[in-house]
Structure 1
Amino acid sequence: METMSAFDPAGSVAVVTGAGNGIGAALAEALGSRGAKVVVADLDAAGVERTVAAVETAGGTAVGVAGDAASESGIESLIAGATEAFGPIDAWFANAGIDRGRGLQASEADWESSFQVNVMAHVRAARALVPGWLESGGGRFVVTASAAGLLTMLGAPAYSVTKHGAVAFAEWLSATYRHRGIVVQAVCPQGVQTRMLDDSGPLQEILSHDSALTAEQVAADVLAALDGDDFLILPHPEVAEYYTARAGSTDRWIGGMNRIQQRLDEH
């Protein structure tokens, strides 16, 4: 397949959701340092201010939008604010994500909020952006999913299922519009040194098995991947091996995961 042209952040308008902290903040700073006009979006208004200041300190240009990037009205508001500040959006980094509930005790509210943030936020953003991108000749849609979206995350069914959904939607979007200039990529790291990892309890050791990366390392990998159009961005390269093993022998893979679960049960 012919490789599409690289995406140059310089002069582009890039929206980063969930950019108040962690990977989103690091992505915003990295894009700003490369000359992008960055729209920093997050529910955390203080986090938005910190990230905007960090982008500007690094010599970049940024504007903050505090609000819900998962709701239909929130997406509309965010796109309107970004367009008013900088013009048409060239790239959307759908980074906002949540981990709610544990085991079968995860509540209806845990499942619903996970679905809205981890899946429907991407659907709503794409629904709003893709028609314009088709008219203008293209755009880039980068979803921060998780290795859990390719494998699983023990103890966290709502997170695992909705991250699988995030990857599945990104895959569908790429298969449907790739030939029309829309590049879709899915970032699937394992353990990253963020608040989500700190709050993962006994799972922290498992998620950090192949070394927990900094948010800045993940952002650097994402920026490097913008030079091409590979669908999967794997900051932990070993995830590709796990993904292949899972597909090649699913029962063996599930058996191995169950053995890890048994060890967790002993804690």
Structure 2
Amino acid sequence: MRADRFTGRVAVVTGAASGLGRVAAEGLSAEGARVLLFDRDGAGLADTARNCPGAVTVTGDVTSAADQARLAEEARRLGPVTLLATAAGTIGATVPLTEMAEEDWDRLFDINVKGTWLTLRAVLPLLREAGGGAVVTFASAAGLTGSPALPAYSASKAAVVMMSRSLARVHAPEGIRVNCVCPGSIETPMLEETFASAPSPEARAQREAEFRARHPLGRFGKAGEVAASVLFLLSDDAAFTTGVALPVDGGRLA
């Protein structure tokens, strides 16, 4: 880490109450940014804020336009916003596509796709007002290749990838870079949720082994390894990088 890489800058992080969003927010804070933390889990936000001096928390739902408007209003009060990380997401139901309930499909796309869109719609104007900045959205390695175990999740993250690439082209003339990270299987509450949904201990062990075997490095990733890539893409070290969908996947897509 470099203590001054984001000094004087304001960053917005959604999904900041746990997992990748929390670690990314803590990394931004440790490198000098003042962070606005957004999540529907108020207690989790408070835990994250304890590790982010000067942080502001906004409790809300990424799928709510009204909550996103409150997010933008609070962010504007902090000063010019130049950094955005959209980490809010869900894995959804781990069932075959033909067995997925309509309401589960809708909820998955509401959070992963609509939630990302609403955040971008709310916060991108702030980056434009600031004269530029950087955005990192959170997709998945499953958004770059088919996932037999998670077809609906894969489809939702593919949508995030293409939304990000399209916005990179639109906003480049404004000095706004848009990239996304595409993690493989990372040790987070979301991954644990995937394993915990297995119908038996034997099925869980098999699922864990199958997920691990997809990664040539032979292990699951750590949240800090994804956060390091997020911080790079947000930083001026990546000043000539936009429109990238960066796999952080232990070689899964090699």
- Fold match by TM threshold 0.5: yes
Q: Which residue of the other structure, out of 212, 220, 225, is the alignment partner of 1:208?
A: 212
Instruction: Give 1:31's aligned residue.
Output: 28
Task: Name whichever of 19-28 and 74-83 sits farther off.
Answer: 74-83
Query: How many angstroms does 1:237 deviate by?
Result: 5.6
Instruction: Give 1:259's aligned residue.
Output: none
How far apart are the structure 2 equivalents of 1:42 and 1:131?
20
Query: How many angstroms does 1:78 deviate by?
Result: 1.1
- Is residue 86 of structure 2 the alignment partner of residue 94 of structure 1? yes
Query: How many angstroms does 1:41 deviate by?
Result: 1.1
Instruction: Flag the 1:163–1:203 CA change in 2: closer, same or farther, 3 A.
Output: farther
Letter in 1 for 2:28: L
How far apart are the structure 1 equivalents of 2:208 and 2:55?
33
- Say what the alpha-carbon RMSD is for the aligned residues: 1.9
Percent identity for Structure 1 against Structure 2: 33
TM-score (norm 1): 0.80
Query: How many angstroms does 1:66 deviate by?
Result: 1.3
Q: Which runs of 5+ in 2 are unaligned?
A: 196-205
TM-score (norm 2): 0.84
Instruction: Give 1:121's aligned residue.
Output: 115
Query: How many angstroms does 1:199 deviate by?
Result: 2.1
How far apart are the structure 2 equivalents of 1:199 and 1:120?
22
SS in 2 for 1:10: coil
Instruction: Give 2:64's aligned residue.
Output: 71
Query: How many angstroms does 1:198 deviate by?
Result: 1.3
Does the 8 A contact of 2:39 with 2:62 survive in 1? yes
SS in 2 for 1:199: helix
Q: Which residue of the other structure, out of 14, 26, 39, is the alignment partner of 1:17?
A: 14
Instruction: Give 1:106's aligned residue.
Output: 100
Query: How many angstroms does 1:35 deviate by?
Result: 0.5
Task: Name whichever of 201-210 and 177-186 sits farther off.
Answer: 201-210
Letter in 2 for 1:83: R
Instruction: Flag the 1:195–1:129 CA change in 2: closer, same or farther, 3 A.
Output: closer
Task: Name whichever of 213-222 and 132-141 sits farther off.
Answer: 132-141
Instruction: Give 1:235's aligned residue.
Output: 248
CA distances 1:11-50 after superposition (whole Å, capped 9, x unpaired):
1111111111111110011000001001111111111010
Letter in 2 for 1:24: G
Instruction: Flag the 1:34–1:171 CA change in 2: closer, same or farther, 3 A.
Output: same
Q: Which runs of 5+ in 1 are unaligned?
A: 1-6, 242-267
Does the 8 A contact of 2:131 with 2:175 survive in 1? yes
Instruction: Give 2:198's aligned residue.
Output: none
How far apart are the structure 2 equivalents of 1:71 and 1:89?
21
Instruction: Give 1:50's aligned residue.
Output: 47
- Is residue 150 of structure 2 the alignment partner of residue 151 of structure 1? no
SS in 2 for 1:55: coil
SS in 2 for 1:234: strand
Instruction: Give 2:229's aligned residue.
Output: 221
Instruction: Give 1:188's aligned residue.
Output: 182
- Name the count of aligned residue pairs: 230
Letter in 2 for 1:94: T
Does the 8 A contact of 1:197 with 1:204 survive in 2? no
